[in-house]
Structure 1
Amino acid sequence: MVETLQPPRFGAGQQPVKPAHSGRRVAAVFDFATASHFRAIVFLVLCGIVLFLPGFFNIPPIDRDEARFAQATKQMVESGDFVDIRFQDDVRYKKPVGIYWLQAAVVETASSLGLPRAQLRIWLYRIPSLIGAIGAVLLTYWAALAFVTRRGAALAALMMCSSVLLGAEARLAKTDAMLLLTVVAAMGAMARVYLSWQRGEDPVRPPWAAPAIFWTALAGGILLKGPLILMFVGLTIMALAILDRSAAWLWRLRPVWGLMWTLVLVLPWFVAIFWRAGEAFFSNSLGGDMLSKLGAQESHGAPPGLYLLLFWVTFWPGAALAGMAAPAVWRARREPGAQYLLAWLVPSWIVFEAVLTKLPHYVLPLYPAIAILTAGALERRVLSRSWLMRGAAWWFVIPAGASVIAVIGAIKLTHYPAFPAWPFLAAAMIFGLIAWWMFEDSRAERSLLNAVVAAMFLAVGIYGIVMPSLTAMFPSAEIARALRNVVCVGPKAAAAGFHEPSLVFMTGTGTLLTDGSGAADFLGQGSCRFALVEWRTERAFVQRAEAIGLRYNVAKRIEGYNISQGKAISIAIFRSEGTE
């Protein structure tokens, strides 16, 4: 890092020291890729494609958040109302409109290009997340260039690209990958302003580029997830102001013009939703969603320290090196670059650990700071030589454990051991073992690169092959497939006992969510109607059907697993034969 954990920048005629045995293929590819910024960008995009695309197109909608976002967007497209946010007849005011607009733009574009049934293709709704994930990787590279060399910046970006958590978010039609993009853009721009002030640079006319990126990213983050991005930025500024006993550098961000620009971008929709819904959006978003997270919302409560434990899995394969880099980072904590990155990381991490509601993706916007700090320590070769070096075994433990779990899960759910995934899972374990076996301080970079290759094979094996084969985990997709094969036109459905958002997305906005008695009443109201009755509510359905003289048959029975509730389910698809 500049003035922190990095050696002086390489000047004319100087070349970075190559890792030992750099003639090996993985290191040679990385050497070639980091020879220029253009190559590095192309390399990172290709890595993102390899890591994020497996399973992207063929994993069905995942309950509950992804399906809720996608269904709300689908209703926007169906209704043509791009101001209000609804899930069926209920308002959905937990998040602002940003992600819905992005998803709707993709779906509308696909429809205009002639893609059939575009509104039902979940992968279209995931495209903003894919763009956000790859964009966040590239912006991590850009942000890291303020702290480390081009090679170090590429390593930091690779750590983000291969991390387990970002790999999951890139495949989900939610806000978090795009939010990460805006946070990294804002923090990278602010870093450049802060470090130029620390270096004593006093330009007559401060450049506009960094402030423009900062305030635009801030507006984007607000439209995506409300004031959360303000927490990351605000806590960083407060920490730096306390440590430096000055915040004079903030004027270089041109706050007057910047605030005006941010308001121009965010106010139109907030005014429109206030005009439409009054105070309902703000009370639901701020009071009903954000403030409720101070408690254990939706059974996601957990004590402090959970994120630290999850970090070793969610930031794999970079987590092992991050642990080894921690002592050196702490020693350099008062140097400008490390101080900025720690101000980005530590205060917000403490807040997340203190809040009772905990979900793994909450800390994702903090991971770029960890990646850059780790890359700086890696460049300086100041990784811990103590017992922390034993953490290198983690490069093998994760692919080995994930492979075993994936195969056992496939056998349990499908009675088939997912043989096509075995070569990829084996390759992941082999590269993880190589990363562990070759690790030493001088070869840390090569170990990380081999671990990234392990992550690529793991992505293909688990996301690309195992997960799509677990049809029992996606009963909504099976139900929708069964309804598409019926002979009547425009089938309508009512669901009893299984009310997951994915079912509404797959079977239609008009799907009635009711109980067993309501499903029987619905079935008797016309032709081409189907009752989707989970076995726990079948008794109520049968009793009501007998009471109203409804004759019916079982068109199909779907056996599956509700991943949201963690229980096996059996859903009968009943079709009316008329009434007596």
Structure 2
Amino acid sequence: MIQTSASARFGAPREPRKAMDPGRGLVAVLDFVSVSHLRAVVFLALVGLVFFLPGFFNIPPIDRDEARFAQATKQMVETGDLVDIRFQEEVRYKKPVGIYWLQAAVVETASKMGLPRAEVRIWLYRVPSMLGAIGAVLMTYWAALAFIGRRGAVVAGLLLCSCILLGVEARLAKTDAFLLFTVTAAMGAMAHVYLAWQRGDDRYNSWATPAIFWTAIAAGILLKGPLILMFIALTVIPLAIIDRSAAWLWRLKPLVGVPWVLLLVLPWFIAIFLRAGETFFADSVGGDMLSKIASPKESHGAPPGLYFLLFWVTFWPGAPLAAMAAPAVWRARREPGAQFLLAWLIPSWIVFEIVITKLPHYVLPLYPAIAIMTAGAIERSVLSRSWLTKGAAWWFAIPVVVLTLAIVGAIILTRQPVFLAWPFIAASLIFGLFAWRLFDENRAEASLLNAALASLFLMTATLGVVVPKLRPVFPSVEIAQALRKVVCVGPQAAAVGYQEPSLVFMTGTDTLLTDGSGAADFLLGGSCRFALVEARSERAFAARAEAIGLRYNVATRIEGYNFSQGKPVSIAIFRSEGTQ
């Protein structure tokens, strides 16, 4: 498929048809930024910011994973303990320490720069994810340069940058966007070395590329344990079988690289072993990683084929072009470039489909390979001209469906039509329609750029406008605001019924998670205390309050919706009036 020489193994490129269409100006931008690497890198970085910033600052903490990560980091900042990982008193040993260190560094820096209440500003905890997402886009560009020209590499970066899944992960304070950065860097380094070896080229027999490779591995291990090694191993093994050799791996200088990785990762692993013994390894490897293979975790089980179905939404707007590129990629499967990309993609994808526990972001590290293959087919003008071209309608269908659901959901939850989102909705629909109606194989770039703009406006409308307006879905924010308004020093809270991680993050690490009886006893213990009692637990709270002679009043009541459990909630904030 993708070439390492000037010859076209996809077939001879066809002269694009000159036509006046809404993509012509966008293609001119692509012409401009493809002149030099500096322009391309600056362009992709800026585009990443434009795509990932809407909603970045004003979406409240998302339950449950994001809020758990942020709260664990918050406790690390509060205690100054950079080794242990805890959610309140409970150890949190599912993932290594990497993302917590990155988040803590951002929060500490912001605090020292004078940003008030930095520790409860969720957007600070999201900064590593956004930087990781932009880094992954740039690494996709760099990796693509091993296979295709600069212009095609820019297209590959845009395909990844504009996809819905990365847009979501860039706005969540979790490991996955930064893990994508490390995996793409490692795979890009392997690609450059492998294809140089295939050509008999010694250009990459230097230290720079191996340094990127091994440093990326170390960072990936500190982020999510040995998962990055799985991607590498499942790529190397089929290549070694096909080539009957893995001699190119010596160009990565493993005799120096492996000690470098150990130097970077062992200090923390030794420290956590001395602190917790085998508990961390049992929880992270056995309890979190291996257990997901045979049984569904947290109700996320699904049969094989789910990722293939989700791909058409999560990789949108690149998904239709990926389908059109597939026949050409398969025809070129014996070429070194296509071999490498297919080895990157297929074995790991099969593993994820087999594993019982499934979440959409698990396959995200495979999307750069798809982006590069698709960009290569666009560059060589060998997209399918069969029935697959009907998939171009998907560029218009997704905005119609997603934005309709977003507006209907907003009206149901808030009784407001969210008019601010409508201009962005209109723009997304218009550019999606342009991408669909103007598509043919000779104008794929123009259609893709229109589709990318449709994706930008879709994410701006949904993540930038609609989601932050869904206040009932984020009751923790309203609870925290209510507690900040009380007239007393150092308010403390106990939560009953509604105990989401975002509540602990917003109201304080010392928030007590208890039952109705425990909340009544807690309220009796001081004057500046509040019980946050969900309606289903009020009877138990009231019975215990009566038994101990507690007098209390309702400071306020918050109505909302707990989307983690899929049910409405009504939370009363009780305050003590003393005893009878």
Q: Which TM-score tier does this pair reach, normalised by the shorter chain?
A: over 0.9
1:71 and 2:71 aligned: yes
1:97 and 2:97 aligned: yes
Report the AA paired with residue 477 of structure 1. Answer: V
Deviation per residue, 1:401-426 (Å, 9 max, x gap): 11101100110000001011001011
Q: Do the aligned residues in 2 keep the contact of 1:6 with 1:377 (CA within 8 Å)? A: no
Q: For residues 391-540 of structure 1, what are the structure 2 equivalents within 5 Å?
A: 391-540=391-540
Residue aligning to 2:212: 213
Report the AA paired with residue 251 of structure 2. Answer: R
Q: 1:210 to 1:31 in 2, by over 3 A?
A: same
SS of match in other structure, 2:356: coil
Q: Do the aligned residues in 2 keep the contact of 1:306 with 1:353 (CA within 8 Å)? A: yes
Q: Do the aligned residues in 2 keep the contact of 1:497 with 1:537 (CA within 8 Å)? A: yes
Report the AA paired with residue 216 of structure 1. Answer: T
Q: 1:252 to 1:19 in 2, by over 3 A?
A: farther
Q: Do the aligned residues in 2 keep the contact of 1:51 with 1:162 (CA within 8 Å)? A: yes
1:20 and 2:21 aligned: no
Residue aligning to 1:365: 365
Residue aligning to 1:342: 342
Report the more deviating stretch, 500-509 or 515-524. 515-524
SS of match in other structure, 1:557: strand
Q: 1:285 to 1:523 in 2, by over 3 A?
A: same
1:182 and 2:182 aligned: yes
Deviation per residue, 1:120-139 (Å, 9 max, x gap): 00000000001000010011
SS of match in other structure, 2:460: helix
Report the AA paired with residue 68 of structure 2. Answer: R
Q: Distance in 2 between matches of 1:92 and 1:324?
A: 44
Q: Do the aligned residues in 2 keep the contact of 1:98 with 1:224 (CA within 8 Å)? A: yes
Q: Do the aligned residues in 2 keep the contact of 1:4 with 1:338 (CA within 8 Å)? A: no
Report the more deviating stretch, 341-350 or 379-388. 379-388
Q: Distance in 2 between matches of 1:370 and 1:87?
A: 37
Residue aligning to 1:237: 236
Report the more deviating stretch, 39-48 or 127-136. 39-48
Report the AA paired with residue 434 of structure 2. Answer: I
Q: Kindly state the Cα deviation for residue 4 of structure 1 after the two structures are TM-superposed.
A: 6.9
Q: Distance in 1 between matches of 2:5 and 2:387?
A: 21
Q: Distance in 2 between matches of 1:30 and 1:382?
A: 19
SS of match in other structure, 2:3: coil
Q: Distance in 2 between matches of 1:506 and 1:108?
A: 18
Deviation per residue, 1:474-526 (Å, 9 max, x gap): 01011001101111111000000011100000000000001111111111111
1:285 and 2:273 aligned: no
Residue aligning to 2:321: 321
Q: Distance in 2 between matches of 1:25 and 1:63?
A: 41
Q: Kindly state the Cα deviation for residue 236 of structure 1 after the two structures are TM-superposed.
A: 0.3
Deviation per residue, 1:194-238 (Å, 9 max, x gap): 0011112357x9211111110000000000000000000011000
Q: 1:534 to 1:7 in 2, by over 3 A?
A: farther
Q: Kindly state the Cα deviation for residue 253 of structure 1 after the two structures are TM-superposed.
A: 0.9
Q: Distance in 2 between matches of 1:485 and 1:121?
A: 18
Q: Distance in 1 between matches of 2:302 and 2:163?
A: 23
Q: Kindly state the Cα deviation for residue 39 of structure 1 after the two structures are TM-superposed.
A: 1.3
Residue aligning to 1:81: 81
Q: Do the aligned residues in 1 keep the contact of 2:16 with 2:443 (CA within 8 Å)? A: no
Q: Do the aligned residues in 2 keep the contact of 1:163 with 1:314 (CA within 8 Å)? A: yes
Q: Do the aligned residues in 2 keep the contact of 1:4 with 1:332 (CA within 8 Å)? A: no
Question: 5+ residue gaps in structure 2?
Answer: none
Q: Distance in 1 between matches of 2:492 and 2:163?
A: 42
Q: Kindly state the Cα deviation for residue 5 of structure 1 after the two structures are TM-superposed.
A: 10
Deviation per residue, 1:106-162 (Å, 9 max, x gap): 000001000000000000000000100001001100110110111100011001000
Q: Distance in 1 between matches of 2:199 and 2:550?
A: 81
Q: Distance in 1 between matches of 2:393 and 2:453?
A: 16
Q: 1:324 to 1:2 in 2, by over 3 A?
A: closer
Q: Distance in 2 between matches of 1:4 and 1:408?
A: 49
Q: For residues 105-184 of structure 1, what are the structure 2 equivalents within 5 Å?
A: 105-184=105-184
Q: 1:202 to 1:453 in 2, by over 3 A?
A: closer
1:252 and 2:248 aligned: no
Q: Which stretches of structure 1, 4 residues or more, deviate above 6 A after TM superposition? A: 15-19
Q: Kindly state the Cα deviation for residue 20 of structure 1 after the two structures are TM-superposed.
A: 3.5
Q: Distance in 1 between matches of 2:452 and 2:212?
A: 30
Q: Do the aligned residues in 1 keep the contact of 2:304 with 2:354 (CA within 8 Å)? A: yes
SS of match in other structure, 2:298: helix
Q: Do the aligned residues in 2 keep the contact of 1:517 with 1:541 (CA within 8 Å)? A: yes
SS of match in other structure, 1:298: coil
Q: Kindly state the Cα deviation for residue 79 of structure 1 after the two structures are TM-superposed.
A: 0.3
Report the AA paired with residue 20 of structure 1. Answer: K
Report the AA paired with residue 519 of structure 2. Answer: A
Residue aligning to 2:562: 562
Q: Do the aligned residues in 2 keep the contact of 1:5 with 1:338 (CA within 8 Å)? A: no
Q: 1:366 to 1:503 in 2, by over 3 A?
A: same
Residue aligning to 1:12: none
Q: Do the aligned residues in 2 keep the contact of 1:4 with 1:335 (CA within 8 Å)? A: no
Q: Distance in 2 between matches of 1:282 and 1:511?
A: 29
Deviation per residue, 1:27-68 (Å, 9 max, x gap): 222222222211111111121111100000000000000000
SS of match in other structure, 1:41: helix
Q: Distance in 2 between matches of 1:180 and 1:427?
A: 30
Residue aligning to 1:306: 306
Q: Do the aligned residues in 1 keep the contact of 2:8 with 2:380 (CA within 8 Å)? A: no
Report the more deviating stretch, 364-373 or 23-32. 23-32
Q: 1:170 to 1:7 in 2, by over 3 A?
A: farther
Report the more deviating stretch, 298-307 or 450-459. 450-459
Q: Distance in 1 between matches of 2:178 and 2:88?
A: 25
Report the AA paired with residue 83 of structure 2. Answer: V
Report the AA paired with residue 380 of structure 1. Answer: R
Report the AA paired with residue 515 of structure 1. Answer: D
Residue aligning to 1:227: 226
Report the AA paired with residue 141 of structure 1. Answer: Y
Q: 1:63 to 1:190 in 2, by over 3 A?
A: same
Q: Distance in 2 between matches of 1:351 and 1:123?
A: 33
Report the more deviating stretch, 282-291 or 20-29. 20-29
Residue aligning to 2:264: 265
Q: Distance in 2 between matches of 1:173 and 1:533?
A: 28
Q: Kindly state the Cα deviation for residue 21 of structure 1 after the two structures are TM-superposed.
A: 3.5
Deviation per residue, 1:228-267 (Å, 9 max, x gap): 0000001100010111111111111111111010000000
Deviation per residue, 1:451-495 (Å, 9 max, x gap): 001111112111111111000110101100110111111100000
Q: Do the aligned residues in 2 keep the contact of 1:5 with 1:376 (CA within 8 Å)? A: no
Count of aligned pairs between the two proteins: 574
Report the AA paired with residue 136 of structure 2. Answer: A
Q: Kindly state the Cα deviation for residue 7 of structure 1 after the two structures are TM-superposed.
A: 5.0
Residue aligning to 2:40: 40
Deviation per residue, 1:288-334 (Å, 9 max, x gap): 10011111111100000000000000000000100111111111111
Residue aligning to 1:547: 547
Question: 5+ residue gaps in structure 1?
Answer: 10-14
Q: Kindly state the Cα deviation for residue 2 of structure 1 after the two structures are TM-superposed.
A: 4.9
Q: Do the aligned residues in 2 keep the contact of 1:328 with 1:384 (CA within 8 Å)? A: yes
SS of match in other structure, 1:297: coil
Q: Do the aligned residues in 2 keep the contact of 1:19 with 1:446 (CA within 8 Å)? A: no
Residue aligning to 1:61: 61
Report the AA paired with residue 284 of structure 2. Answer: S
TM-score normalised to structure 1 length: 0.97
Q: Distance in 2 between matches of 1:77 and 1:97?
A: 13
Q: Do the aligned residues in 1 keep the contact of 2:4 with 2:148 (CA within 8 Å)? A: no
Q: Distance in 1 between matches of 2:104 and 2:561?
A: 30
SS of match in other structure, 1:479: helix
